[in-house]
Amino acid sequence: MHLPRTTLLPLLFFILAAIAPLTATAAFKTTLYYPYVEMSVPGGIDITFLFNGRKDKTGCETLATSVTNGMLTVCPTCQTKAKQCLDTLEPRHRKLLSAEPLDVPSARLPDGVATYSALNPDSALPACRESEKLTSSRAEADRIVCYPPQTARPLPTARKITLDSSHYFLGLLFFVLSGLASGFACYLIVRYDHLHAHLSHDHNTTGPQKFHATPVPRIGGVAILIGLLVAGVGLLPIQQRFSIDEFGYLLLAGLPAFAGGMAEDLTEKVSVLARLVLTMLAALLGAWLLGAVLERIDVPGLDTLLLWSPLAIAFTVFAVGGVANSINIIDGYNGLAGGYAVLVLAALACVSAQVGDAFLMTAALAMIGSLLSFMVWNYPKGKIFLGDGGAYLLGFWLAELSVLLVVRHPEVSPWFPMLLLAYPVFETLFSAYRKYFLRGHSPGHPDGLHLHMLIYKRLVRVFVGSSDTTLMTRRNSMVAAYIWVMSAGCVLPAIFFWSETRLLIALTVVFCAWYIWLYRRIICWRAPAWVIRREHT
């Protein structure tokens, strides 16, 4: 069966949009260079230095030379066995920079690690201790900390970076520019919907996951993307001061996720698997362009496995794709996904500011600006929908910022974003379990038993049976408030305890247990009376 030209052309356009980043990354990919030095000390002791990655090779070579010259100054009889800049790290190198115990004594440096090995193992640890003593008079952040063999080596606390007023002003500019552009784009989409209704309107109002009264444009993702693009382009003149290139890489990486969802919005012929694959492609680009690869989740054993780069990349790609898909799943009612995402992004921006990461803070604020302007048109009257394109782009943005925050700041627990995203992630996992094991259906089979749908059907008992479009829209919009309040119960403690892994894990488990309890109460018509909304026409 042949697709009509009006359907085929947009589909081809967005397929090209998904492929384009693969070509662009060849020119814009960021490569990290890791200074690596091996020195031989009299007495049969070898010292190996490995430092965190540098964006430019010249800086890497300069540090490697500085370390070598420094060693030769204090030890003229020492010999240099190796001095190079590594552009890729093998698992053994990654283990050096991780918190995993080593077989030899090691020392935490302010920006790397040093290991001590010797023919006589008993002489290696004293040499490490001597290095530690030499730096005892320095500031705490500049001291060397020595660890014996087979000892856990906590990751160093990052040096405190305090954002100044210019960084916050940048964040405000991102917020305002993206908001103005997104709001204006929404206005144009709604005002001239008759020009694109044959492509953009969701005419199906009777499906198991359809709760709107009239056909509505579901290309709100276009407005979100325009808002982000305008924010980035509008601030290009100050890119030398604020490294706007990272924002551009993040946008570039997200295009495949957006393209897959947008193709579905326009054609309704793109499978869930195809959209998921494109979102995973976006995650791969994020790993390539920004180094967004999770190598720790603070779970013993699993962190050791993640030291193997292919597994770490695969895990990250799966996680990002899963989060993006989960945001698409909860995007069922006016304001639900958008309002929830604003809460999560506000938490990410808050913690990013605390750890001194201006890029992540401004990226979160830019998306908040776009979303709030979109919600002016989406909530409560539902004049425009986020659509799959917007939902997948938003999900990718949330997941990628979460990964980058954990990767760039060892002091941030991986369970901080996990608690923030607990609702959509657990909703997706629980739904897959419910469909496959309890009902014998495919996990991708749509049904009307998601938590937000049960809230609509069984808790929001207002205007039931009414055919008035205004009343139906009012009932639709009431669902979001339930989810916002529920999500705030995760977001608020996460903001206060973002570095406390054990507490965050406990809170995540408590949320999952509470979710199951609430779901069972609603599905059995035993929901607490105080959460039921009753109103009559």
Q: Is residue 415 part of a domain?
A: yes
Q: Are strands 45-51 and 79-86 parallel, antiparallel or unpaired?
A: unpaired
What is the average pLDDT across 489-494?
95
Instruction: List, for residues 86-122, the tens digit of each pLDDT value.
Output: 988 787 888 888 878 899 999 988 788 999 998 888 8
Same domain, 227 and 263: yes
252 and 122 in a single domain? The answer is no
| 365 closest CA partner among 169, 167, 166, 172 | 172
Better-scored residue on pLDDT, 420 or 268: 420
Residues 228, 175 share a domain: yes
What pTM was computed for the model? 0.81
* 3-state DSSP assignment of residue 133: helix
Q: What is the number of domains present in the chain? A: 2
Residue from 61, 53, 334, 54 nearest 218 by CA: 334
Confidence of residue 216 (pLDDT cuts 50, 70, 90): confident
Which residue type occupies 175?
A: F
Give 428-456 pLDDT, tens digit per residue.
999 888 887 777 777 777 777 888 888 88
Return the residue matching tokens 């304001």.
335
Residue 436 lies in a domain: yes
Tell me the Cα Rg of the chain: 26
The pLDDT score that the predictor gives to residue 453 is 86
Kindly state whether residues 142 and 281 are assigned to the same domain: no
Residue 21 lies in a domain: no
Is 325 or 439 the better-scoring residue by pLDDT?
325
The yes-or-no verdict on residue 487 having pLDDT over 90 is yes
Q: Do 303 and 434 have their domain in common?
A: yes
SS (H, E, C) 75-125: CCCCEEEEEEEECCCCHHHHHHHCCCCCCCCEEEECCEEEEEEECCHHHHH
Q: What's the pLDDT tens digit per position in 391-403?
A: 999 999 999 999 9
What is the extent of the structural domain holding 360? 165-236+244-441+449-535
Looking at the fold, whether 259 and 322 belong to one and the same domain comes out as yes
Q: Is residue 14 situated within a structural domain?
A: no
Name, of 206-210, 247-251, 434-438, 475-479, the range with top average pLDDT.
247-251
Q: Answer yes or no: is 11 within a domain.
A: no
181 and 120 within one domain = no
Q: What is the C-alpha separation between 224 and 258, in angstroms, rounded?
A: 10
Looking at the structure, tell me whether residues 140 and 170 fall in a common domain: no
State whether 194 and 139 are in the same domain. no
136 inside domain: yes
**Distances from the Cα of 357 to the Cαs of 110, 183, 250, 420, 463, in angstroms?**
19, 27, 15, 19, 47
Q: Are residues 105 and 184 in the same domain?
A: no
Task: Annotate 29-57 with b (16+ C-beta within 10 A) or e (fewer).
Answer: eeebbbbbbbbbbeeebbbbbbbebbeee
What is the dihedral sign for C-alpha 245, 249, 254, 255? positive
